[in-house]
């Protein structure tokens, strides 16, 4: 199994598939089916990789390594561990959902399909690359189709929204690029694994200082500066407040199927970057600024929840809620990066926190995209209306819709038995002993989340029926087929979280060792 | 059948019923109700069988499976069966069965009959989960599930805005307590390295200082959970509003089971509380008991009177735990489950007969129209008021005796609350059941059908004898080993007068005073005489001491304002950075942005990628 370049194939399928789909411009129906078929093929390959993945080992698997530009030390280096695998699976699950959500829209559907496939290729590439050079290409490759998807199919303000989204992320990317050029100059390597090994030996800041020694900057300040540049790149992507202002606009203006991809998978690129790149390569720097980072995470959690409560547009509300949920990942990640000298069994707490982070990434990807899927279905019925006060009492006419969307909403607010709970609980379990004050304040976020999600249920579904919607149709059979598998998955992960935890645990153990020095 | 599998069946039958009803029998009302009712009745029968076979003290106390297993971090899913949980199991399935059966009659005409029973079964499952949990995490999970099923049931008539509001309020208030609970669990878990109640207790017994400086804080945080669920001051505001749900729900959830979960949890985890924490718990319980009793005196809605009465009695139970007498708290919980469920179902029967009229001043003279309801209601009232030898007398006396031994001020509060209890309950009885008809609806009222009256009769029997069937000895033996506990009927009947005569006699005196005051004021009253006599105080009591208004003005306003500020700030930032206003944006992004405004974005994207490549090669090729 390990001889065959599975990861390359996985990335190439949507990449080439996108070209094919564009080429079939004339036969839109066929193009559409081909697109979906290709995304299902990717899902199949991803499941195959999962099946052959050795969960007991935290090492990188399915590795591929080729010299690309030998003189520059650029290697084509791929590999996945539990974290990578989880992200591949998530991407493979959300993409077909998004395509199906767009199924009844005939506006340049073949271009739409191709862009989604390219986006998927970018994501697969990002989650498997281990060398900065092509990792960065894929990182950017994901951005470009996303930009056009927002720009061409978005709402009334799609133009500015797309531009802002693009520029913001680009500024972050430039920071990342500069940081890695500095690292390359100092260490001669672009390889994440090699860099992390150097960081563990404490060589990075010395080398940076030697190579780039600039005026009177001390070595540690310089290293902190480089860290800051890289941090910016990921902070915009997650996003961390106050780098988040592009997000509500982009999420609400993007067509909902695209929002599913943006929130479901693209937001995970940032968290993934933190885990794979930032924490392992800059552990000393993270510790230096740990307290501000932790409070930044708390700020992200609490402010985004409060902002979500103030929204009157369902998509904007869910957009802020998305920031909030990823805030828990930030909190646990930073807490686990600390030295934790005063804590009982620090390794156990860190492992719990990081397991929580990974699980939360998967859960949020699933739940948030399904929620936006429901918004798509609602918009389809209401002719584009999606305000909190536009509905009222529709539970009476669309009970099945209400029940299923209610399940997703309760999953989002962390109800036990559904997927959201275990991740959040592990996050708090791990983070609380490691950073008690920040974690205690962060519970405010959980409470406010409950407040605005219940407000959503109450305003939209409960109360007297708004007569305007007396004839609202309930979910059709094909829509049920779209929604039920993901709902079942929510229950499965909620009741048997070991399904996901079993895959990631060995990886987490390794990550904890990496962070201990 | 192997006896160790019985508890699992008892636990999962209601869940199975809920799932089957939701997925398959939504349209078939009869099947749905039958499924739900049989799930809980079978659960009750199996519990009895289990206790017959194993007594209240089985040899194997725990059965468990591994649920989470990530390296050294493990969490189990297990059941703990000892006297405490088995007795509670009997109460939940027993009283629950009566209420399920009653619901068939009460909800018969409702459009969403099946959905009602599905939610009821989901609730039963969650509640049994709390009762049988052998570790903190599982208890917390069931705890949250109880929260959500109560949300579904309170908001059952979701078309009514008030019901939807009440459901949301209940869920959120409970969640507020739950986060304290969660942090408390995490403190205990981090310090002691286990979640299992047995292991925690053993660990703390070996090393009482294991929790270190966090012991009191941890205990109080866990208590926060109980404050939410058992509606203790200051998180009590949700319970009276929860009466928006159908009356059987009020009986099941907001009288007999869910609100008792807090007290049960306190008893289960009694070993973690330090004396300081217990002091706080006792006073919160005492204050709740007093405040709620005062409010109950001036309510006119029959269900609200009972709701505040429930609050007040829960205050008693929490106070008992705080006074280091959890067995007294559990004893009162058990007897209270009988007579309060009886009172609520009686009230439901009245409301059913009166076509959803709930104001007691529009009833009157119902004793002749509804004799079974009247007599059973009377039994419930006397049990609640603590008439010897009804059940309430013994359990209330156990609490008063504990207060007498530990804290004089709390003893005085306890006796005062007992007098108030008698007063407001007989006010209710005199106004609603005796005297003349106060509205023409009374003329049309008639006795409820047998599915509703038989549960009343059964609960009435238990309300009478519940104090002397050995409940106290059972809890006492487990929670306070070594203490003296009466055995035998005669010994139990006179035990309170021997053990703590002052407490027992004060309780009876309080009953006498309350009854006398209620008789003088309300026996022949046309309207409430109290507002004229005590003026402002009466208004404060009627308006629930303005807690809702206080929260509205503080917590909710602050929350709304924060949200508005954050939102405004965000929009302002966006407006500043947005491409619409080019001046502000340019200052942020400078030259980068000029590209966008001048050329096409495709070109820009291309240029940027190209630029990246050029820089890369330039730098690397150096």
**pLDDT tens-digit map of A465-488:** 888 888 888 888 888 888 999 999
Is 0.80 topped by the overall pTM?
yes
**Neighbour tally for B377: CB within 10 Å:** 27
3-state secondary structure B24-91: CCCCCHHHHHHHHHHHHHHHHHHHHHHHHHHCCCCCCCEEEEEEEEECCEEEEEEEECCHHHHHHHHH
Q: Is the pLDDT of residue A457 over 60?
A: yes
pLDDT of residue B594: 47
Tell me whether B532 touches chain A (CB under 8 Å): no
Question: Which pLDDT value is given to residue B573?
Answer: 65
Determine contact, residues A404/A475, Cβ cutoff 8 Å.
yes
| Pair of tokens at residue B79 | 């059941």
B566–A306 CB contact, under 8 Å: yes
The pLDDT assigned to A295 comes to: 92
Mean local confidence (pLDDT), A324-349:
86
Q: Phi/psi at B197 (nearest 5 deg)?
A: -60, -45
- Binding-face residues of B in 249-278 toward A, CB within 8 A: none
DSSP secondary structure, A167-194, as one string: HHHHHHHHHHHHHHHHHHHHHS--BHHH
Across the range A270-281, mean pLDDT stands at 90
> In the prediction, which pLDDT does B289 show?
92
d(CA A302, CA A307): 9
Partners of residue B187 in chain A, C-beta under 8 Å: 432
Task: Indicate if the pLDDT at residue B489 is higher than 80.
Answer: no
pLDDT for A214 equals: 63
pLDDT for res B572: 72
CB-CB neighbors (< 8 A) of B570 in chain A:
245, 248, 307
Rounded Cα distance between B291 and A65, Å, is 73
The pLDDT tens digits of the residues spanning A185-208 come to 888 788 888 888 888 888 877 787
**Separation between Cα atoms, residue A361 and residue A333, nearest integer Å:** 12
Q: Which residues of A touch B181 (CB under 8 A)?
A: none
Among B183, B193, B612, the residue with its CB nearest the CB of A440 is B183
Distance, in Å, from the CA atom of A293 to the CA atom of A314, rounded to the nearest integer, reads: 30
pLDDT tens track for B297-331: 888 888 889 999 999 999 999 999 999 888 888 88
Per DSSP, chain A holds a count of helices (H) and strands (E) of 22, 2
Per-residue tokens: A407: 């399940």
Q: Is the pLDDT of residue B622 over 70?
A: no
B191 close to A (CB below 8 A): yes
Check A443 against B191: CB less than 8 A apart.
Answer: no
SS3 A53: coil
Mean pLDDT of all residues belonging to chain A: 86
Q: Centre a 10 Å sphere on the Cβ of residue B594 and count the other Cβ atoms it contains.
A: 12
Helix (H) or strand (E) holding B252, with range, is none
Q: Which of residues 154-183 of B touch A (CB under 8 A)?
A: 155, 158-159, 161, 164-165, 168, 171-172, 175-176, 179, 182-183
Give me the mean pLDDT over the B27-46 stretch.
Answer: 90
**Residue A413's closest chain B neighbor by CA?**
B175
Strand A74-80 versus strand A61-69 pairing type: antiparallel
Q: Cβ–Cβ of A344/B621 closer than 8 Å?
A: no
Taking 50 as the threshold, does the pLDDT of residue B364 lie above it? yes
- B591 at A interface, C-beta within 8 A: no
CB A108, CB A88: distance < 8 Å? no
Instruction: Report the 10 Å Cβ neighbour count for B27.
Output: 8
Least confident among A6-15, B133-142, B477-486, B530-539: B477-486
Q: Which residues of A touch B190 (CB under 8 A)?
A: 343-344, 349, 432-433
CA distance B37 to B258: 18
Neighbouring CB atoms inside 10 A of B424's CB total 25
Average pLDDT over residues A343-354: 84
Helix (H, G, I), strand (E, B), or coil: what is residue A257?
Answer: helix
Q: How many CB atoms neighbour CB B292 within 10 A?
A: 30
**Who wins on pLDDT, B273 or B529?**
B273
Q: Which of B69, B182, B193 is nearest residue A498 as measured by Cβ atoms?
A: B69
With residue A75 as reference, give the H or E element that holds it. strand A74-80
Whole-number average pLDDT of chain B: 83
- Cβ-contact B87, B56 below 8 angstroms: yes
* Closest C-alpha to B413, from B506, B325, B286: B286
Are the beta carbons of A306 and B189 separated by less than 8 Å?
no
Mean pLDDT of B324-351: 89
Place of tokens 């502000």: B584
* Chain A partners within 8 Å of B592 (Cβ): 167, 170-171
Q: Left, alpha or beta for A95 (phi > 0: left; psi -120 to 50: alpha)?
A: alpha
- Render pLDDT for A27-62 as a digit per residue (tens, 0 to 9): 878 888 888 899 999 999 999 999 888 888 878 888
The rounded radius of gyration (Å) of the Cα atoms in chain A is: 22
Nearest CA in chain A to B608: A170
List the one residue out of B136, B143, B144, B139 whose CA is nearest residue B196.
B136
CB pairs under 8 A between A and B: 170
Quote the minimal CA–CA distance from B517 to chain A in Å.
43
Residue B620 CA to residue A131 CA, distance in Å, equals 15
Q: Quick check: A515 and A507 in contact, CB under 8 A?
A: no
Cα distance from B566 to chain A (closest Cα, Å)? 6
Is there a contact between B320 and B326 (Cβ–Cβ < 8 Å)? Answer: yes
CB contacts, 8 Å: A147 with chain B:
601, 605
Here the ipTM equals 0.90
Most confident of A428-437, B348-357, B476-485, B518-527: A428-437
- What pLDDT is recorded for position A357? 93
What confidence tens digit (pLDDT) does each residue in B568-608 have? 777 776 655 544 443 344 444 444 444 444 444 555 556 55
Distance CA A59, CA B13 (A): 44
Nearest Cβ partner for B171 among A352, A422, A454: A454
Phi then psi for residue A261, to 5 deg, are -70, -40
Q: Using an 8 Å CB-CB cutoff, list chain A residues near B176.
A: 447
Taking a C-beta distance cutoff of 8 angstroms, is the pair A160, A249 a contact?
yes
Answer yes or no: do A166 and B140 touch at CB < 8 A: no
In percent, the amount of chain B with pLDDT more than 70 equals: 90
Residue range B130-145: average pLDDT? 91
Cross-strand partners of B79: B63, B133
Interface of B with A in 67-126 (CB under 8 A): 67-73
CA distance A330 to A239: 10
Chain B partners within 8 Å of A462 (Cβ)? 155, 158-159, 161, 164
- List all residues of chain B from 342 to 381 with a beta carbon under 8 Å from chain A: none
Give the whole-angstrom CA distance, residue A373 versus residue A379: 10
pLDDT at B551 over 80: no
pLDDT digits (tens, 9 = 90+) for B257-280: 888 899 999 999 988 898 989 999
Q: Out of B564, B566, B574, name the one closest to residue A303 (CB).
A: B566
Where do we find the tokens 């070594």?
Answer: B482
- A367 pLDDT tier (thresholds 50, 70, 90): very high
How does A246-259 read in b/e, with b if 16+ C-beta sit within 10 Å? bbbbbbbbbbbbbb
- Among the partner-chain residues A133, A310, A429, the one whose CB lies closest to the CB of B567 is A310
Name the token pair of B43.
């659960």
> For residue B356, with 0-12 CB atoms within 10 Å meaning exposed, 13-18 middle and 19 or more buried, which class applies?
exposed
């Amino acid at each position: 199994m390990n001889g065959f370049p599975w990861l390359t194939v996985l990335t190439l399928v949507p990449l080439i598939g996108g070209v094919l789909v564009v080429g079939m411009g004339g036969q839109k129906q066929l193009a559409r089916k081909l697109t979906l078929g290709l995304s299902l093929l990717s899902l199949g390959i991803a499941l195959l990789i999962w099946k052959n993945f050795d969960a007991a080992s935290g090492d990188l698997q399915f590795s591929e390594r080729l010299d690309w530009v030998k003189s520059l030390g650029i290697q084509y280096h791929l590999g996945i561990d539990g974290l990578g695998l989880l992200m591949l699976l998530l991407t493979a699950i959300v993409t077909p959902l998004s395509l199906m959500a767009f199924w009844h829209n005939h506006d340049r559907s073949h271009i739409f399909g191709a862009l989604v496939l390219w986006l998927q290729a970018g994501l697969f590439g990002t989650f498997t690359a281990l060398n900065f050079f092509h990792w960065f290409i894929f990182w950017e490759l994901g951005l470009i189709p996303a930009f056009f998807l927002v720009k061409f199919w978005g709402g009334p303000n799609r133009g500015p929204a797309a531009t802002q989204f693009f520029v913001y992320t680009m500024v972050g990317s430039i920071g990342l690029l500069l940081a890695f050029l500095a690292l390359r100059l100092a260490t001669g390597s672009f390889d994440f694994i090699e860099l992390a090994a150097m960081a563990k030996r404490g060589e990075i800041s010395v080398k940076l200082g030697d190579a780039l020694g600039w005026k009177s900057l001390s070595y540690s300040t310089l290293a902190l500066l480089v860290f800051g540049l890289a941090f910016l790149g990921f902070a915009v992507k997650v996003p961390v407040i106050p780098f988040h202002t592009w997000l509500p606009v982009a999420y609400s203006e993007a067509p909902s199927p695209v929002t599913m991809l943006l929130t479901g998978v693209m937001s995970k690129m940032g968290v993934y970057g933190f885990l794979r790149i930032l924490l392992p390569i800059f552990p000393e720097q993270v510790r230096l600024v740990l307290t501000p980072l932790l409070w930044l995470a708390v700020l992200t959690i609490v402010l985004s929840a409060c902002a979500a409560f103030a929204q009157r547009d369902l998509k904007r509300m869910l957009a802020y809620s998305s920031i909030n949920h990823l805030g828990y990942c930030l909190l646990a990640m930073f807490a686990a990066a600390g030295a934790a000298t005063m804590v009982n069994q620090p390794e156990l707490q860190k492992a719990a926190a990081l397991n929580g982070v990974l699980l939360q990434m998967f859960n949020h990807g699933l739940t948030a995209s399904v929620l936006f899927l429901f918004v798509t279905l609602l918009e389809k019925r209401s002719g584009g209306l999606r305000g909190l006060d536009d509905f009222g009492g529709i539970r009476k006419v669309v009970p099945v819709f209400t029940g299923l969307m209610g399940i997703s909403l309760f999953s989002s607010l962390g109800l036990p038995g559904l997927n959201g709970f275990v991740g959040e609980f592990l996050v708090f379990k791990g983070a609380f002993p490691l950073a008690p004050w920040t974690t205690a304040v962060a519970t405010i976020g959980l409470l406010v989340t409950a407040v605005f999600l219940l407000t959503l249920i109450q305003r939209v579904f409960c109360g007297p029926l708004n007569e305007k919607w007396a004839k609202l149709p309930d979910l059709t059979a094909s829509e049920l087929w779209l929604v039920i598998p993901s709902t079942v998955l929510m229950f499965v992960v909620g009741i048997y979280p070991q399904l996901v935890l079993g895959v990631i645990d060995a990886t987490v153990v390794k990550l904890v060792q990496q962070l201990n020095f | 059948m192997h006896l160790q599998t019985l508890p699992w069946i008892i636990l999962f039958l209601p869940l199975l019923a809920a799932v089957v009803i939701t997925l398959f029998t939504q349209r078939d009302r009869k099947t749905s109700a039958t499924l739900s009712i049989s799930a809980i009745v079978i659960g009750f029968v199996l519990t009895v069988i289990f206790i017959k076979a194993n007594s209240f003290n089985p040899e194997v106390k725990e059965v468990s499976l591994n649920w989470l297993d990530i390296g050294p971090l493990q969490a189990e899913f297990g059941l703990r069966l000892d006297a405490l949980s088995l007795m509670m199991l009997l109460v939940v399935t027993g009283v629950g069965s009566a209420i399920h059966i009653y619901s068939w009659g009460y909800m018969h005409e409702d459009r969403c009959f099946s959905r009602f029973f599905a939610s009821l079964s989901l609730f039963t499952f969650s509640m049994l989960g709390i009762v049988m949990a052998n570790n903190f995490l599982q208890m917390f999970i069931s705890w949250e599930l109880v929260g959500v099923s109560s949300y579904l049931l309170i908001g059952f008539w979701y078309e009514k805005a008030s019901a939807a509001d009440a459901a949301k309020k209940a869920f959120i208030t409970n969640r507020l307590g739950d986060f304290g609970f969660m942090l408390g669990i995490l403190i205990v878990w981090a310090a002691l390295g286990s979640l299992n109640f047995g292991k925690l207790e053993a660990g703390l017994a070996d090393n009482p200082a294991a929790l270190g400086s966090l012991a009191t804080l941890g205990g109080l945080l866990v208590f926060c959970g109980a404050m939410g669920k058992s509606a203790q001051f200051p998180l009590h505001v949700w319970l009276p509003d929860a009466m928006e749900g159908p009356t059987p729900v009020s009986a099941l959830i907001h009288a007999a089971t869910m609100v008792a979960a807090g007290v049960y949890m306190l008893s289960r985890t009694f070993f973690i509380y330090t004396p300081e924490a217990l002091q706080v718990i006792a006073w919160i319980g005492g204050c709740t008991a007093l405040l709620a009793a005062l409010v109950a005196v001036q309510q006119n809605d029959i269900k609200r009177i009972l709701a505040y009465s429930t609050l007040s009695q829960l205050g008693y139970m929490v106070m008992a735990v705080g006074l280091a007498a959890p067995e007294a708290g559990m004893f009162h919980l058990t007897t209270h489950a009988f007579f309060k469920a009886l009172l609520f179902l009686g009230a439901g029967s009245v409301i059913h007969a009166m076509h959803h009229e709930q104001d007691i001043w529009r009833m009157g003279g119902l004793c002749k129209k509804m004799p079974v309801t009247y007599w059973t209601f009377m039994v419930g009232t006397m049990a609640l008021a603590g008439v010897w030898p009804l059940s309430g007398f013994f359990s209330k006396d156990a609490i008063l005796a504990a207060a007498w031994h530990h804290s004089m001020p709390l003893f005085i509060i306890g006796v005062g609350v007992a007098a108030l209890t008698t007063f407001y309950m007989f006010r209710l009885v005199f106004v609603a059941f005796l005297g003349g008809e106060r509205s023409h609806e009374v003329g049309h009222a008639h006795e409820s059908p047998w599915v509703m009256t038989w549960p009343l009769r059964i609960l009435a029997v238990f309300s009478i004898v519940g104090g002397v069937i050995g409940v106290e000895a059972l809890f006492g033996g487990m929670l306070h080993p070594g203490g003296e506990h009466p055995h035998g009927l005669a010994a139990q009947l006179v035990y309170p007068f021997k053990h703590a005569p002052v407490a027992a006699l004060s309780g009876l005196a309080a009953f006498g005073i309350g009854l006398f005051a209620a008789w003088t004021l309300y026996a022949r009253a046309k309207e409430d005489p109290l507002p004229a006599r005590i003026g402002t105080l009466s208004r404060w009591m009627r308006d629930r001491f303005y807690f809702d208004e206080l929260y509205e003005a503080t917590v909710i306003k602050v929350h709304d304002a924060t949200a508005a500020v954050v939102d405004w700030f965000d929009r302002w930032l966006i407006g500043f950075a947005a491409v619409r206003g080019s001046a502000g944006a340019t200052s942020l992004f400078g030259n980068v942005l000029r590209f966008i405004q001048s050329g096409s974005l495709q070109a820009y994207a291309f240029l940027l990628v190209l630029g990246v490549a050029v820089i890369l090669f330039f730098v690397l090729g150096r």
